[in-house]
Structure 1
Amino acid sequence: MRIVFAGTPDFAATALQALLATHHELIAVYTQPDRPAGRGRKPTPSPVKQVALDAGLPVFQPDTLKTADAQQTLAGLAADVMVVAAYGLILPKAVLDLPRHGCLNIHASLLPRWRGAAPIQRAIAAGDTETGITIMQMDEGLDTGAMLLKKATPIQADDTGGRLHDRLARLGGEAIVEALTRLEQGRLAGEPQRHEEACYAHKLTKDEGHIDWHQPAEVIERQIRAFDPWPGTYTELDGQRLRLHQAHVVPGTGTPGTVLRRERDGIDVACGEDALRITRLQLPGARAQSVNDLINGGKPLLLPGQELR
């Protein structure tokens, strides 16, 4: 089949690489315009654009697909199907209707759970035990289209947002290849979503990384894992922002935010329920380090009785 691919970040680049390994014909790639990045703030191609250029594929980077010119260009490609993964632009109905088989989306959740921008992190933070990939027939709604294929994966107790992202990216590549095979064979059937069961995965913000020590330790531990590597989680001590990278739940009681214990195996902080043992953290202007290294450095931080906010 003649495929147009639309995507932008690493998650989408993994799917594009999977499609390049098939017998299908990738005729064009759509991705967002280059954005400033790095210390020099130079315009930088997206991960998808880089994969496309390495493969010698034509790349289109319109600011919108709502104009007649953009739609005419896409129509001229005469695609059988458009595969979309974390593209970042709205596809109007005119675009959805252009390919012969419409537009298929690779979504990183088991729909209808976690529609929206941040399904991977929201699933971990909510304590879900399972997530996965849904290949969906796109319609005008937000992740509301018919479900064509699902692949599930368990959420492990030590999964971070980054680790689960990478696993789902690989699973997404496998799923879209299988879905296209079924589509070729005429056996890719859609299942309507139960809209009443849907929940929304709001876009992540940096402010969400601030830890509320009145929450149960279990909730905070999931927050730390879910928001690693971005936006990260942090707390404040005497006006300094400390980033937390690894922690686990331990027994303990006290005023929420109070340091209960400081030993080489971790720093215990009282929470609204139980306590959190911090094992890896990052001081301002420094790299992430273990609590053992922090103690070896001789800094009198996070001592019993000190309060985190």
Structure 2
Amino acid sequence: MGTPDFAVPCIDALANSPLVRLALVVCQPDKIHGRHKEPQPPPTKVAALARGIPVAQPTKLRSGDFPELLASLKPDLIVVTAYGRILPQAILDLPRLGCVNVHASLLPRWRGAAPIQWAVAAGDEASGVCLMQMDVGLDTGAVLARSTTPLAADESGQSLHDRLSLVGATLLAESLPALLAGDLVPSPQNHDEATLAPILTREHGQLDFARPAAELERRVRAFDPWPGAWFHLETSAGVKLMKVFPQARMLDASGAPGTVLEADDRLIIACGDGALSFSELQLEGKRRMAAGELLRGFKIAPGARVVRS
């Protein structure tokens, strides 16, 4: 059970294993995208159908045809990764070996929907993937196996997402023999050490320049590509939304927080501690471009201020 591209390597790992028969892939319903309002299938659906694996996309887990379909398969094991919904107890109790979750954090740190991004935003030195025995809580089950990876100094939400997707698939494949034999020893989580990774909204991407430059630089990297990093800036053409990208650099400069210090081949804005230099910018309604290119055609005067909305 999984929906986004993060889960595709786990499908591959299970489909390629001689130890299991992958009977069904369950994912969220197709979503409407684009100007033409055409339904777009989840990446896991595309991957499963390409392999000839049946797919189910229930709108409800507790009613309709899905509970009967799932029960008819008599699954020994259900593997979940980034499915997007909490499973009811009836599904958790169905498989002989239970339900396991491939979760992209070192539990109990970063329980929730966005563990990858919050790990980068917090400046964690390491992240990883846990194989967890599922219960009715939010990522609260006992850990069966884990794999750790260090975070690079320039780690972004996207780069860590891509790496942990493969780390998770490898962990799952390597754990399958012991998992199917019942030889993995569950390690209960220390709930007192738990931290939460709430689902990201657009508002999380708005930069507050009263905060230290180091913190904001991490958030720019963490929230790439979604929800991105952005702010509203005073210009001669009015207040404009400006999006920035992970090439941001910290500088030992000072000024009133949110004030433009330089705007020529780069945009430098003072923070609560230090300043940030942005080399790539995207003005609302325009394409992403080098800061110098944008600033030659769209003048921003030093002293302009970021406006909090």
Instruction: Please show how residues 60-209 of structure 1 align to structure 2 within 5 Å.
Output: 60-67=56-63, 69-209=65-205
Instruction: Kindly indicate whether the alpha-carbon contact (under 8 Å) linking 1:79 and 1:100 is maintained by their aligned counterparts in 2.
Output: yes
Structure 1 Cα separation of the partners of residues 64 and 267 of structure 2: 59
Distance 2:29 2:299 in 1: 47
Indicate which of 281, 303, 306 corresponds to 1:305: 303
The correspondence for 1:29, drawn from 25, 30, 43, is 25
Q: Contact 2:97–2:180 (CA<8 Å) still a contact in 1?
A: no
Three-state SS of the structure 1 residue aligned to 2:294 is helix
Q: Distance in 2 between matches of 1:17 and 1:64?
A: 26
**Residues 209-249 of structure 1, C-alpha deviation per residue, up to 9 Å, x if partnerless?**
11111000011101101110000111112311000113011
What CA deviation, in whole Å up to 9, does each residue of 1:6-42 have, x standing for no partner? 1101111221122222212111111111111122121
Deviation at 1:262, TM superposition (A): 3.0
Identity percentage of aligned residues: 47
> 2:42 is matched with which residue?
46
Deviations 1:62-118 (A, max 9, x none): 112112742222111011100001111221111111111010101000000000011
Q: In angstroms, what is the RMSD of aligned CA positions? A: 1.3
Aligned twin of 1:3: none
TM-score, structure 2 normalization: 0.94
State the secondary structure of the residue aligned to 1:25.
coil
Q: Is the 8 A contact 1:247 1:279 kept in 2?
A: yes
Equivalenced residue count is 301
Q: Which moved more, 1:15-24 or 1:222-231?
A: 15-24
Letter in 1 for 2:31: R
Q: Which residue identity lines up with residue 269 of structure 1 in the other structure? A: I
The residue that corresponds to 1:231 in the other structure is 227
Distance (whole Å) between structure 2 residues aligned to residue 236 and residue 67 of structure 1? 46
Match for 2:14: what amino acid? L
Larger displacement relative to structure 2 (151-160 or 103-112): 151-160
Give 1:168 shift. 0.6
Of 40-49 and 15-24, more deviation after overlay is shown by 15-24
Q: Which runs of 5+ in 1 are unaligned?
A: 1-5
Q: Which runs of 5+ in 2 are unaligned?
A: none
Secondary structure at the aligned position of 1:7 is classed as coil
Residue equivalent to 2:274: 274
What's the CA shift for 1:185? Answer: 4.0
Residue by residue, what CA displacement relative to the aligned partner does 1:120-143 show, whole Å, maximum 9, x if unpaired? Answer: 111111111111000000001110
Q: Counterpart of 1:187 in 2: which secondary structure?
A: coil
Contact 1:242 1:282 survives alignment (8 Å): yes
Given that 1:65 and 1:90 are in contact with CA atoms closer than 8 Å, whether structure 2 keeps it comes out as: no
